[in-house]
Amino acid sequence: MFRSLALWFESRLHLVKVFEATAGHKVPPSTNSWFYVFGSGTLLCFVLQIITGICLALVYIPSTSEAWPSLQYLNNQQFLGAFLRAVHNWGSIFMVAIMSLHLVQTFLFGAYKYPRELTWVSGCILFLCTLGMAFTGQVLRFDQDAYWGLGIGASIMGRVPFIGAQLVHLMLAGSIIAGETLSRFFTMHVFVVPGMIIALLSLHLRLVLTKGINEYPTPGRLVSKESYENEYEEAVKKTGVPFVPNVIGKDLIFSAFLVVAIVTCALVFGPAGPNGPPNPTLIHTAPKPDFYFLPVYAILALLPAYMETFLLLVAPVVGIAILVLLPFYSGTGEKSYRRRPMAVVIVVLAFLTVGTLAYLGTFAPWSPQMEAWSAAPTPVDYIKNRSGLELQGALLIQGKQCRNCHSLNGEGGQRGPALDTVATRLTPDELIRQVIQGSGNMPAYGKNLSPAEVSALVAFMGTLRPAYQPPARDSTQSVRLPPKDLRATR
């Protein structure tokens, strides 16, 4: 009965043929490796994102006035709404992470080389689309961060020469962030970019079938355009094994592990936000991007201002071009990372750079701590046995917001140097100059402090040194001593 039913379908759909041409296609046995599971892992994340995304869209309202309440509803009232939001959020984080591993693996294994150029190119565009999903998704979580994040996007667009204003208007669907802006991002996130991803993914997988999957590279075995395809085909014919059922096992195990990991993270950490309502008049906020854009956030604080616009606009284009065109200038030759030391160095450097920037981005030492001046206590040791003038200076260091950028005893901003031992580094004269004129990242306080206030401030800072360390000395003093009568008054 069952068999005859199966045969009936087979005679209509030719499923065996379809299977042999797709899931059951033959692959080199060397690809049965744990290094080859990241592509299917990314696909799994994508499917998970589609499923959870459709679920969220059942409740979410893409309207500036109602998005935030509908997110609150999802979090607090909708049955399992918070869980699905959490899975969608963690699914996106895992998708970016696993996709990055897939990119690194294919790069290190030379998979981009002849004849798989298009596989690489389509993969790179898929990576960019995924980052696009991450950014637009962050906007759909329409809260304070999303609102100001849009402002940041617009500010970056506004730096484009000639058509900057037009691009800003196109991005915001108008000249300010308002009603139509969110609809625009909703359309991108839900229709346009996923459509592109599905189309590119089809191409990507089609290419895996037509040009085969990259064999596990053997050091010393070079790719040449003349012989590679014949060699590959022969090898697959001779020793190839069907992907299903021989090779898919590891993919399945990894995918199951991924689902468990995503669900666990979702259960433990819960959904992301939304934080404060997207009301632009609530300005007591410090917008921060999601995890994926922390490196960008960090680099924008650390770059010298003069190269910022250049790096914002030109570097991504050049970087993407170098990445996408990789198979066209390095399409043959050695595949194995064991004989491509530069490839390994590039990967390590990229990880270190992105990792360090993301790490810095998480606690943003360059941001002034807006509440430190009124909230951080003055360490008791720093005001014990101090003169009235020095105590007045201690008050000024709070009252004039110095601590928003300078820490005392570890509390306060880190934009400027900590002041705990400032007296060992700067003489009173240098302190006065620094306070009045500022320099580097410090604004000049000359207009905003009276001479008496400056004296008090400098008197207090003059006490900020450990007892065992001498105060900073003016190096010119031993050479050019002031006349005797002046010295007496000092």
Helix/strand/coil for 222: strand
Of 460, 273, 315, 454, residue with least CA distance to 384 = 460
Among 123, 368, 393, 412, binds another protein (CB under 8 A): 368
Q: Does the footprint of another protein cover residue 399 (CB under 8 A)? A: yes
CB 44 within 8 A of CB 259: yes
Instruction: Report long-range pairs for 208-214 (Cβ below 8 Å, ≥24 apart).
Output: 208/119, 209/21, 209/22, 209/25, 211/115, 211/116, 211/118, 211/119, 212/27, 212/28, 212/236, 213/27, 213/28, 213/31, 213/36, 214/31, 214/106, 214/109, 214/110, 214/111, 214/116, 214/335
Q: What is the distance between the alpha carbons of residues 426 and 420, in angstroms, rounded to a whole number?
A: 12
Q: 25 φ, ψ to 5°?
A: -65, 155
Min dist. Cβ of residue 299 to another protein (A): 10
Site for another protein in 249-308 (CB under 8 A): 277-281, 283-287, 297, 300-301, 303, 305, 308
Of 383, 29, 69, residue with least CA distance to 238 = 29
CB 407 within 8 A of CB 418: yes
* Contacts with another protein, 172-211, as mask; x by CB under 8 A: xxxxxxxxxx------------------------------
Q: Are strands 333-334 and 241-242 parallel, antiparallel or unpaired?
A: unpaired
Q: State both tokens at 69.
A: 């309440």
CB 361 within 8 A of CB 298: yes
Query: Which residues on neighbouring strands pair with residue 222, listed in sequence order?
Result: 334
Kindly determine how many residues on this chain lie close enough to bind another protein according to the rule CB under 8 A: 71
Site for another protein in 144-173 (CB under 8 A): 147-148, 151-152, 154-160, 164-170, 172-173
- Taking the least distance from each CB to another protein, the nearer of 39 and 149 is 149
Min dist. Cβ of residue 364 to another protein (A): 8
Among 238, 447, 484, 487, binds another protein (CB under 8 A): 447
- Taking the least distance from each CB to another protein, the nearer of 285 and 409 is 285
- Taking the least distance from each CB to another protein, the nearer of 36 and 297 is 297
HSE-up of 230 (CA within 13 Å, CB side)?
4
Min dist. Cβ of residue 424 to another protein (A): 24
- Taking the least distance from each CB to another protein, the nearer of 161 and 483 is 161
- Taking the least distance from each CB to another protein, the nearer of 102 and 415 is 415
* Contacts with another protein, 97-136, as mask; x by CB under 8 A: ----------------------------------------
- Taking the least distance from each CB to another protein, the nearer of 117 and 143 is 143
The stretch among 4-12, 59-67, 208-216, 242-250 that binds another protein (CB under 8 A) is 59-67
The stretch among 24-32, 384-392, 397-405, 454-462 that binds another protein (CB under 8 A) is 397-405
